[in-house]
Amino acid sequence: MLSNFRTKRWHWISSSILQFEINQNPDLDQRVSLTTLLQLRHQIIFVGGKEILRGEELEGLGFKKFDALHIACAESGNADILLTTDDRMLRRAKRYRAQLRVRVENPYTWLQEIN
Protein backbone atom coordinates (compact mmCIF):
# COMPACT_ATOMS: atom_id res chain seq x y z
CA MET A 1 0.00 0.00 0.00
CA LEU A 2 2.73 2.49 0.94
CA SER A 3 4.47 1.94 -2.38
CA ASN A 4 1.45 3.55 -4.05
CA PHE A 5 2.26 6.77 -2.20
CA ARG A 6 5.98 6.53 -2.94
CA THR A 7 5.30 6.14 -6.66
CA LYS A 8 2.64 8.86 -6.49
CA ARG A 9 0.00 6.50 -7.87
CA TRP A 10 -2.06 7.63 -4.88
CA HIS A 11 -2.08 11.16 -3.45
CA TRP A 12 -1.94 11.30 0.36
CA ILE A 13 -3.64 14.31 1.88
CA SER A 14 -2.81 14.69 5.55
CA SER A 15 -3.80 17.30 8.10
CA SER A 16 -2.31 19.34 10.88
CA ILE A 17 -4.74 17.62 13.26
CA LEU A 18 -3.11 14.27 12.47
CA GLN A 19 0.32 15.70 13.25
CA PHE A 20 -1.07 17.14 16.49
CA GLU A 21 -2.46 13.75 17.52
CA ILE A 22 0.81 12.01 16.70
CA ASN A 23 2.70 14.53 18.83
CA GLN A 24 0.43 13.70 21.77
CA ASN A 25 1.44 10.02 21.69
CA PRO A 26 3.47 9.30 24.85
CA ASP A 27 5.31 6.40 23.15
CA LEU A 28 8.44 7.95 21.61
CA ASP A 29 9.09 5.02 19.26
CA GLN A 30 5.55 5.17 17.86
CA ARG A 31 5.75 8.95 17.57
CA VAL A 32 8.99 8.73 15.58
CA SER A 33 7.66 5.92 13.35
CA LEU A 34 4.44 7.77 12.59
CA THR A 35 6.23 11.05 11.95
CA THR A 36 8.57 9.23 9.55
CA LEU A 37 5.58 7.70 7.80
CA LEU A 38 4.09 11.16 7.34
CA GLN A 39 7.06 11.99 5.11
CA LEU A 40 5.14 10.13 2.37
CA ARG A 41 2.28 12.63 2.40
CA HIS A 42 1.89 14.84 -0.65
CA GLN A 43 -0.27 17.58 0.82
CA ILE A 44 -1.21 18.90 4.25
CA ILE A 45 -4.45 20.65 5.14
CA PHE A 46 -4.13 23.06 8.05
CA VAL A 47 -7.04 23.50 10.43
CA GLY A 48 -8.46 26.96 9.89
CA GLY A 49 -11.74 28.74 10.47
CA LYS A 50 -13.56 26.83 7.72
CA GLU A 51 -12.48 23.47 9.12
CA ILE A 52 -13.35 24.47 12.68
CA LEU A 53 -16.87 25.52 11.64
CA ARG A 54 -17.39 22.31 9.67
CA GLY A 55 -15.96 20.32 12.58
CA GLU A 56 -18.52 21.88 14.91
CA GLU A 57 -21.30 20.89 12.50
CA LEU A 58 -19.99 17.33 12.50
CA GLU A 59 -19.72 17.29 16.29
CA GLY A 60 -23.42 18.14 16.26
CA LEU A 61 -23.93 14.81 14.48
CA GLY A 62 -22.08 13.06 17.31
CA PHE A 63 -18.54 12.83 15.94
CA LYS A 64 -15.75 13.29 18.46
CA LYS A 65 -13.89 16.60 18.12
CA PHE A 66 -10.74 15.24 16.46
CA ASP A 67 -12.71 12.87 14.23
CA ALA A 68 -14.84 15.80 13.10
CA LEU A 69 -11.70 17.79 12.30
CA HIS A 70 -10.20 14.87 10.36
CA ILE A 71 -13.35 14.74 8.24
CA ALA A 72 -13.47 18.52 7.84
CA CYS A 73 -9.85 18.57 6.64
CA ALA A 74 -10.46 15.67 4.23
CA GLU A 75 -13.43 17.55 2.82
CA SER A 76 -11.37 20.76 2.50
CA GLY A 77 -8.69 18.83 0.62
CA ASN A 78 -11.31 17.32 -1.70
CA ALA A 79 -10.16 13.84 -0.68
CA ASP A 80 -11.91 10.91 -2.34
CA ILE A 81 -11.68 8.82 0.80
CA LEU A 82 -10.67 9.09 4.46
CA LEU A 83 -9.24 5.85 5.84
CA THR A 84 -9.57 5.03 9.54
CA THR A 85 -9.57 2.00 11.79
CA ASP A 86 -11.74 3.79 14.38
CA ASP A 87 -14.89 1.63 14.49
CA ARG A 88 -16.96 4.27 16.26
CA MET A 89 -16.07 6.87 13.63
CA LEU A 90 -16.79 4.39 10.84
CA ARG A 91 -20.24 3.54 12.22
CA ARG A 92 -21.15 7.20 12.63
CA ALA A 93 -19.83 8.06 9.15
CA LYS A 94 -21.92 5.27 7.65
CA ARG A 95 -25.00 6.57 9.48
CA TYR A 96 -24.43 10.15 8.26
CA ARG A 97 -22.99 9.31 4.84
CA ALA A 98 -25.37 11.71 3.06
CA GLN A 99 -24.17 14.66 5.19
CA LEU A 100 -20.46 13.99 4.53
CA ARG A 101 -18.51 15.23 1.51
CA VAL A 102 -15.91 12.47 1.80
CA ARG A 103 -16.21 8.70 1.92
CA VAL A 104 -14.97 7.20 5.21
CA GLU A 105 -13.77 3.59 5.14
CA ASN A 106 -11.64 1.05 6.95
CA PRO A 107 -8.33 0.67 5.05
CA TYR A 108 -8.48 -3.13 5.06
CA THR A 109 -12.03 -3.18 3.69
CA TRP A 110 -11.20 -0.54 1.09
CA LEU A 111 -8.07 -2.38 -0.09
CA GLN A 112 -10.08 -5.58 -0.53
CA GLU A 113 -12.61 -3.62 -2.57
CA ILE A 114 -10.08 -2.05 -4.95
CA ASN A 115 -8.01 -5.22 -5.46
Enumerate the domain spans of the chain.
2-114
CA distance 23 to 20: 5
> Per-residue pLDDT for the chain (115 aa), expressed as one digit of tens each?
788 888 888 999 999 999 999 999 999 999 999 999 999 999 999 999 999 999 999 999 999 999 999 999 999 999 999 999 999 999 999 999 999 999 999 999 999 998 8
Using alpha carbons, list the distances in angstroms from residue 37 to 21, 60, 115: 14, 32, 23
pTM of the prediction? Answer: 0.93
- Write phi, then psi, for 105 (nearest 5 degrees): -140, 160
Pick the CATH number of 2-114 from 3.40.50.300, 3.40.50.1010, 3.40.50.920, 3.10.310.30: 3.40.50.1010
Residue 6: its pLDDT value, please?
A: 85
Long-range contacts: 15-23, Cβ < 8 Å, 24+? Answer: 15/44, 15/45, 15/46, 15/47, 15/69, 15/70, 15/73, 15/74, 15/77, 16/44, 16/45, 16/46, 16/47, 16/73, 17/47, 17/66, 17/69, 17/70, 17/73, 18/70, 19/44, 21/66
